[in-house]
Amino acid sequence: MAPKMFACIYDNGDMIPNPENGVLFKSDTCIMVQLHRGFTFSQLIEIILQWAKRDPTNPPPVLHFRFPTQICGRHVTYTTTNIEDDDDLDGAMDIIEANPTLRSLEICTTYNI
């Protein structure tokens, strides 16, 4: 069975620039889901729409993935990139698996509402 990990999804959230940490995610709706290798981008979108109780005909146009660029003791600096397809999702999982201090994906959805 494929390794599993959690994804913390900030639905319709804000990306807030932060001089100390690079970027923070903020949302009134935070969803935790368990993912595994082999999960597709389409499946992730379906889960987000289901758990956030959103209209399935209006998927989020962009998923933002927050990941560390520098870890110095307890201080971590983050940046973001977009997840737009299966390869991007696999790459995000690679980053999490390669760093034993990371426990989950952090994803922020934004909508054109």
**Please, which pLDDT band fits residue 2 given cuts at 50, 70 and 90?**
low
Percent of residues, the chain, with pLDDT higher than 90: 56
Range of the domain at 14: 4-110
| pLDDT at position 85 | 95
Is residue 32 classed exposed, middle or buried when 0-12, 13-18 and 19+ CB atoms within 10 A define those classes?
Answer: exposed
Report the domain count for the chain. 1
Mean pLDDT, to the nearest integer, of 24-41?
92
Q: Name the token pair of 67.
A: 């990941």
Q: 98: domain CATH number?
A: 3.10.20.90
The owner of tokens 């595994």 is 36
**Which of 101, 100, 53, 107 lies closest to 82 in space, CA to CA?**
107
Q: pLDDT per residue over 46-61, tens digit each?
A: 999 999 899 999 899 8
**Please, which pLDDT band fits residue 112 given cuts at 50, 70 and 90?**
low
Q: pLDDT per residue over 84-106, tens digit each?
A: 999 999 999 998 888 877 778 89
